[in-house]
Chains A and B, each alone.
Chain A
């Protein structure tokens, strides 16, 4: 039972443009959401998070938006850079504590 869904397995964006990665969740108990970036054969690297009491959190080129009524969050990367090419995992947690990951979206930023 996949409680966190990333419906786009892959995304290709030109360098300098905006990358938008989407994530949906089904469990209304989730109250903390995170995005991780992962390169092959490496551990996920924490990027940015958002608590359910907020609808936006920004950190440099990365912004996460949360729409609680739609149970939807998105990660915006602007401007996109070739080094951003990786797999991005959306994750959610609440009670009980455990990270619930989506299946990931593979982002390719082309020069």
Chain B
């Protein structure tokens, strides 16, 4: 079972809204990731949680706030987003944080900011 689930599938929000994206995996993976993907571009890494600790922050704007309540869950809190933040947000997980750990992706959340 290599399933990573993400909710919601689609989200439309205004620039003053606060919303959260959720990601869950039950594979016992200890590293989880958030990626952002714009149309016709490759996914770009936003955050990495390894053993429930944020280990990489790719200088993402503070209007994106990750939270890892436990090793199976990873949330991305959104506040005061801009229209250019509209994208597909992908969650991934891997067994560990080693260089040869395969990352498995969820289906993504399609976010539109009005």
* Chain A positions near chain B (C-beta within 8 angstroms): 31-32, 34, 36, 41-46, 49, 51, 89, 93-99, 101-104
**Is there a chain A Cβ closer than 8 Å to B69's Cβ?**
no
**What is the CA–CA distance of A99 and B36 in the complex, to the nearest angstrom?**
12
Q: Nearest residue in A to B94 (C-beta to C-beta)?
A: A97
Asked, given contacts A43-B106, A44-B105, whether A95 binds B41 with beta carbons under 8 Å apart, the answer is no
Q: Nearest residue in A to B9 (C-beta to C-beta)?
A: A41
By size class, the interface of chain B is 20 to 34
What is the predominant secondary structure among interface residues of chain A facing chain B? loop
* Chain B positions near chain A (C-beta within 8 angstroms): 2, 4, 6, 31, 33, 41-43, 45, 48, 50, 56, 88, 90-92, 97-108, 110
Query: Which of A34, A96, A99, A103 has the largest count of B CB atoms less than 10 A from its CB?
Result: A99
Asked, given contacts A42-B107, A44-B43, whether A97 binds B99 with beta carbons under 8 Å apart, the answer is yes
Q: CB-CB < 8 A to B102: which residues of A?
A: 34, 46, 49
